[in-house]
Structure 1
């Protein structure tokens, strides 16, 4: 990534050589995917997460690096606190949001052969990010740092500038507010491909086909147009979902090019009109490997920067 502000001069250490400065920049770049992952999960926005990471870099440039015992912990703390401040401001701005708000989609690379990576990727899902909306900014940060990034309570408390007992209570309260509703469950990659193919076939032909048996009885469809483009503003449920897919979307999306890709940790669909991305589709699943939620992003502001990124 090209840094947004090249005018800020580094003052890492007095008398530092270019080699020292390069090593500090390398430390930051090694931490970038983790910082971006933390910020994105806190904010639900790739653009805002990148801003949080950029602000962290500028603070890193201005810091007295020789006095920092643990660069990784320092960067995590700085980025987390910045993301929390941005989330509070973001909540205030959503009061005037038109229609249903969904997290900004990200295109991710998934190493399906690594269990730890699959676990981490599942916490990028739209369903999981929506579940985190139940939490306060500090609850959200504490829960993510401890439960997803496996930081100790002592380290989380230090990052949030609080004592450890209070941090434990914060995480416990977050867990109780979230509950155990299996939103991070993902079928095998092969099953995801099968479900996605059935969805695409129903859109292409206007016939439900095998998708009928692949949808949960209480399936929901949520779309985010941000008031910028036409889309459904209410959440559709049950039989209304299949009817909408085959009778409406099949007609509206007939001219779009469609391709499969990894979105928010699982297989999804990208629709294009020429070179322009006009929509993404991602899913949440139940324990029977059926689609229980369909998330459609149509807001052009949230699709503008869609591309593959390194995010942990």
Structure 2
């Protein structure tokens, strides 16, 4: 296979590999590194000898991500403050059915749920449940027997079922929330946002120890609203408010010109009310986000 052809084969799989790596690792920058490492190994291989190049690439990328999760465990444990996944711009070009599944699996809430799983459970669940690969292919990708793979997926389902259920309300509801949140920051209007928050809503912020932020998770509508109206309004009222498609849903980027100060994403309960507000302020996690046009 000529070099140009081999590169084309890889490029056909690049988006899939990036989507998989990001969901396994919860980090856009780490996912890009994993995909680049896969590409370098691909260049060293002889694609003409591979019966199924896509399966080979999936296996290589998956195992690299599993290794990275294991190596990164200590860093997660020692992380300063609340750890949140690195925010990522998400596209909306798929069919409505595919969009709903892929979007929900990109959400901050779901990526946090995945943190409960072992690296192999996480990879097996994503490949089988989200990317619709059969057990035989998943087993080959993670390097276990098919029976063991089935057990990994089963354990992952059990682990995730104990967490918060994923809900993705209609976009109109998400836009309504952004408008109410913006009004609360700009003018101090309370009624719109208050009505959209669940009673047990939580708010957490990730500064990574690099910028000032909350040292604990806020719990309950009263505490969250006090923080929004008492603190965030003062901090954010002069920022550019930039709605964006983040992690499969409508979120917002706060910026001063080309400098991003924060990103905000949300989780919802079964009634379409906000159950969680996630704020990322860690500059390292915001560096690759970019200001939307």
TM-score normalised over the length of structure 1: 0.90
> Take 1:69 and 1:142, find their aligned partners in 2: how far apart are those partners?
22
C-alpha displacement of 1:66: 1.3
1:220 matched residue in structure 2: 202
Is contact 1:106-1:307 (8 Å) kept? no
Q: Tell me whether 1:250 sits opposite 2:250 in the alignment.
A: no
2:188 matched residue in structure 1: 206
Is contact 2:253-2:291 (8 Å) kept? no
Q: Tell me whether 1:300 sits opposite 2:283 in the alignment.
A: yes
2:29 matched residue in structure 1: 47
1:4 matched residue in structure 2: none
* Selected match of 1:63 from 42, 45, 55: 45
C-alpha displacement of 1:170: 0.7
Residue by residue over 1:183-220, the C-alpha shift from the partner in whole angstroms, topping out at 9 and shown as x without a partner, is 43100111110111111111112231211110000000
C-alpha displacement of 1:117: 2.2
C-alpha displacement of 1:108: 1.2
Matches within 5 A, 1:231-246: 231-238=213-220, 239-246=222-229
> Take 2:223 and 2:46, find their aligned partners in 1: how far apart are those partners?
59
Is contact 1:111-1:118 (8 Å) kept? no
Matches within 5 A, 1:108-123: 108-111=90-93, 114-123=96-105
* Selected match of 1:271 from 236, 246, 254: 254
> Take 1:208 and 1:113, find their aligned partners in 2: how far apart are those partners?
36
Point out the more displaced range, 243-252 or 20-29.
Answer: 20-29
2:271 matched residue in structure 1: 288
Structure 2 alignment gaps of length 5 or more: none
* Selected match of 2:168 from 186, 195, 206: 186
Is contact 2:84-2:206 (8 Å) kept? yes
* Selected match of 1:146 from 104, 128, 142: 128
Is contact 1:206-1:247 (8 Å) kept? no
Structure 1 alignment gaps of length 5 or more: 1-15
Q: Tell me whether 1:90 sits opposite 2:40 in the alignment.
A: no
> Take 2:163 and 2:69, find their aligned partners in 1: how far apart are those partners?
24
Aligned residues: 291
Q: Which runs of 4+ in 1 moved over 4 A?
A: none
Instruction: Flag the 1:193–1:235 CA change in 2: closer, same or farther, 3 A.
Output: same
C-alpha displacement of 1:109: 1.5
Q: RMSD in angstroms over aligned alpha carbons?
A: 1.5
Residue by residue over 1:218-242, the C-alpha shift from the partner in whole angstroms, topping out at 9 and shown as x without a partner, is 0000100001111102000111001
C-alpha displacement of 1:247: 0.9
Residue by residue over 1:54-74, the C-alpha shift from the partner in whole angstroms, topping out at 9 and shown as x without a partner, is 000000000111111001101
Residue by residue over 1:162-199, the C-alpha shift from the partner in whole angstroms, topping out at 9 and shown as x without a partner, is 11111101110111111165543100111110111111
Is contact 1:108-1:308 (8 Å) kept? no
Is contact 1:183-1:284 (8 Å) kept? no
Q: Tell me whether 1:260 sits opposite 2:243 in the alignment.
A: yes
C-alpha displacement of 1:270: 0.3
